[in-house]
Amino acid sequence: MSYHIYTTDGIILKRKNFGESNSLFYVLTKDLGLVIVSAQAVRSSASKLSPALQEFSLSSISCVKGKNGWKMTNAIAKENFYFNRPSFSQRLVCQIAEVLVRMMPGEQAHPEIFSLVQSGFAHLSEVLAKPSDSSVARSDEVGFREKEILDFECLLMLRILYLLGYVDKNKQTEKFLLPILEWNKSILMEVSFVKPVLIEKINLGLKESHL
């Protein structure tokens, strides 16, 4: 019997090892939604897939679906959103990944959520790489960056919960939801001004989801 090979971009959200050198990967994909894919011997020194299957990597993955679930056939690394990042950035990526693993419906396409997360993580990398604000003293730079990241985290979580149906679009939230892939400095400044209101919306959404 031949199997259809599905190739799509995916973000590796979580990895669980089993057996001597095998692993399960929770992958947020562009075309298949959240899928759990096994890879044989991926932890062996001879594995060519291992670099592309590090947690929090954006990769092009190819997999087939058999009677026992999804199996990885190939993976090509594009970017990693975790390595060589400050600890507060790594914490955000881990937290978002955990929320997605627990909340995303399995094997149900949500290309808009994939685009949002990919865009958000890419913007996070840009924020960390851009030159410092000249008005911020060097000694305060880390605190300034961390505040930016916390505002960004609030906005990203709000948008994820909106796309999953746990946050309503209303007068308080609409400006933060449309356009949903916009991360400019002015919108993040507005988040900072009303963050307690947005955090309340987020917490209510998480409570409703039973997360």
- The reply to whether omega before 179 is within 30° of 0 (cis) is yes
Beta strands 33-39 and 69-80: pairing type? parallel
Predicted pLDDT of residue 171: 92
Instruction: Report pTM.
Output: 0.90
Q: What percent of the chain has pLDDT over 70?
A: 91
The three-state secondary structure class of 58 is strand
Residue 19: exposure state from Cβ atoms within 10 A (0-12, 13-18, ≥19)? exposed
Res. 127: pLDDT tops 90: no
pLDDT in tens, 52-68: 999 999 999 999 998 88
Which of 119, 5, 9 is CA-nearest to residue 70?
A: 5
pLDDT in tens, 82-126: 998 888 889 999 999 999 999 998 888 999 999 999 999 999 887
pLDDT in tens, 172-193: 999 999 999 999 889 999 999 9
pLDDT band at 9 (very low <50, low <70, confident <90, very high): very high
Residue 194: exposure state from Cβ atoms within 10 A (0-12, 13-18, ≥19)? middle
* CA separation for the pair 34, 203 (Å, rounded): 23
The three-state secondary structure class of 198 is helix
Report, as an integer, the average pLDDT of 163-176.
94
Res. 11: pLDDT tops 90: yes
Amino acid at 4: H
pLDDT band at 31 (very low <50, low <70, confident <90, very high): very high
pLDDT band at 45 (very low <50, low <70, confident <90, very high): confident
pLDDT band at 195 (very low <50, low <70, confident <90, very high): very high
Residue 106 per-residue DSSP state: B
